[in-house]
Amino acid sequence: MKFGTFKARAVKGTEQYGETKNSYPQIAVTMRIDIGDGNSQDWTTYLIFSPDAAPYSFERLRALGWKGSDLGQELVGIDANEVDVRMFSEDYNGKPQSKCEIVAGGGTVKLDKPISREAFAAKVKAISGVQTGIGGAGGGSASAKPPF
């Protein structure tokens, strides 16, 4: 399998339910990956429901098309949407392992000290003396060298 980002769709009926070695619930789902030229390859992705990973696993299920609210019921719709999957290699116990990960959302962060866009611009101007950083309105020069 090549590494990179590909289009894929879950294969309905391939879901397997189990636990990780740390006893967290997990679902294994076969993804049918479009590898180009009309060819596809099946690969398994794992959705882990630890306290930290559960929100991302639910987000991935939703990206696939699942609209349910009870994991004890059939995962209706998980084959509805084509999604991006990232194929990559990661060391596990000192050995490289190929992995398939559903790309969902952009990853979100919450800044510790949010400020308004206006306050941000004012702080940048106060620090750098430049509003835009590229000359024109707000000062500065397009050819000015950065201070670092």
Yes or no: say if 85 and 101 are a contact pair by the CB < 8 Å rule: yes
What does DSSP assign to residue 144? P
Nearest residue to 32 (alpha-carbon basis) of 43, 47, 22: 43
The C-alpha atoms of residue 117 and residue 44 are separated, in whole angstroms, by 43
| CB-facing half-sphere around the CA of 144: CA atoms within 13 A | 15
Cα 100 from chain centroid? 12
Quote the CATH superfamily of domain 4-103.
Nucleic acid-binding proteins (2.40.50.140)
Q: What is the pLDDT of residues 113-144, one digit of tens each?
A: 888 888 888 888 888 877 665 544 444 444 45
Domain residues of the chain, as ranges?
4-103
Q: What is the pLDDT of residues 66-78, one digit of tens each?
A: 998 899 989 999 9
pLDDT at 3 exceeding the cut of 70: yes
Query: Please, what is the average pLDDT of the chain?
Result: 84
Which token pair is 57?
């696993």
